[in-house]
Amino acid sequence: MTDTAPPAHSAAGTPLSASVAVVTYERPTFVARCLEQLLAQTQPPVEIIVVDSSTSDDTARLVRERFPTVAYEVCPAGRGATATARNISYRMATGDVLAFIDDDAFAERDWLENLLVQFADPTVGGVGGRQIRKQPGELVEGVDAIGLLLEDGTLTGNFAADPGRSLPVDHLLGANMAFRRSVIESLGGIRDGYAGTCIREETDLCLRVAHAGYRLTYTPDAVVEHVAAPYAKGERFDLRYAYWAQKNHLILLIRNFGLTRPIVRRYLTRSLGEAVRDGRNRLARAWSRAHDRDGVGALRAAVAALSRTAVLLAGSISGLARGARLAGDDRRSQSPSG
């Protein structure tokens, strides 16, 4: 367990209030369980907000009929606009703290209470918790490298690990995180621009909070069970995912550090180097299968090897161009005449 801390209070001396936002797309069954868990919290939120990008009205009907106290709003941008949906919830929220939880994440009863405790420190701008995935060894795997941004631009996750205490981190898990609403407001809201699978949109917010001078904290006591519902389109780690992961990661680094900064160069060198080595190894295995007279298998393996390398290269080129454009837009929007 983490060290005990006094309850978090606002500047006026009153206990901090919290709004909880659930962003969803076509998962009414998961939303139902998620909301049931949120309504059973030891420290109830002042409001629960569901922002729905679905094309069907199943989730709207669910909230209306079974959860009438829950606020509901449609995200007209549809699928692939998680940051837009988060911004909608931010504009609706009234709590001192805005907590985000995925629609396929189910909070333990003291989840919100344990998140809010960390805000007793006024220098803390964001807090994230732990996810249970029920995988062997998850409590200790990566316990010394939770939520880090490394010098080569890569990110560590390990958000299922339990270090036994709260820790300073560089970024948080999007499925289980909370921020002071005033800090989000000071940043001008949540930035969009992370298309496709929306990967890295939550990391962008974390880095901006940190760059504004606030600390980010990971607490293993704020726990959700994250079941990883079916993906909206394709497999979670298919070639489409690989493309958007590479593109959006470069966008993240360029927007937050600059196109010419060493961290961008180091990330490109590492990621493309690994892609080339992986492709070469896969081709070697394909050549071996061809020698074993498995021509069809060899061809498939060769295509797979070349495809993944090509996808990462395409993601890199697109990410560099898109990141540079967005970084320019960000600068213009922040200038006095913007």
Span 235-256, pLDDT tens digits: 445 889 999 999 999 999 999 9
Per-residue pLDDT at 55: 93
User: pLDDT confidence of 322, banded at 50, 70, 90?
Assistant: very high
Band (335; pLDDT cuts 50, 70, 90):
confident
- CATH T-level fold of 18-226: Spore Coat Polysaccharide Biosynthesis Protein SpsA; Chain A (3.90.550)
Please, what's the largest Cα pairwise distance for the chain?
A: 76
DSSP state for residue 13 in the 8-state scheme = S
When pLDDT is averaged across residues 90-102 and rounded to a whole number, the result is 98
All residues at 6 or more sequence positions from 45 whose CB lies less than 8 Å from its CB, including other chains: 17, 18, 19, 20, 38, 95, 99, 112
CA neighbor of 17 nearest in space, from 112, 89, 91: 112
Element (H, E) at 128: strand 124-132
Q: Which of 170, 155, 152 is nearest to 265 (CA)?
A: 152
Q: Looking at the predicted structure, is the pLDDT value of residue 293 above 60?
A: no
pLDDT confidence band for 296 (50 / 70 / 90): low
**Residue 2 above 60 pLDDT?**
no
Identify the three-state secondary structure at position 191: coil
Over residues 34-61, the mean pLDDT reads: 97
Encoded amino acid at 178, one letter: A
The reported pTM is 0.89
Residue 226, beta-bridge partner list: 105
Provide the pLDDT for residue 1.
41
The token duo for 48 is 């629960």
- pLDDT tens digits, 28-47: 999 999 999 999 999 999 99
Model pLDDT, residue 309: 86
Could you give the 3-state DSSP secondary structure of residue 91? helix
The answer, yes or no, to whether residue 101 has pLDDT greater than 90, is: yes
Stretch 171-183: mean pLDDT: 98
Q: Are 157 and 135 in contact (CB under 8 A)?
A: no
HSE at residue 155, side-chain half, CA atoms within 13 A, is: 23
pLDDT band at 291 (very low <50, low <70, confident <90, very high): low
**Average pLDDT, rounded, for the chain:** 90
Question: What token pair was written down for 289?
Answer: 């299968």
CA–CA distance, 156 with 273 (Å, rounded to integer):
19
What pLDDT is stored for residue 302 in this prediction?
59
Domains of the chain, residue spans: 18-226, 239-334
pLDDT at 338: 47
pLDDT (tens digit, 9 = 90+) per residue, 193-238? 999 989 999 999 999 999 999 999 999 999 999 997 665 444 445 8
pLDDT of 156 above 90: yes
pLDDT beyond 80 at 298:
no
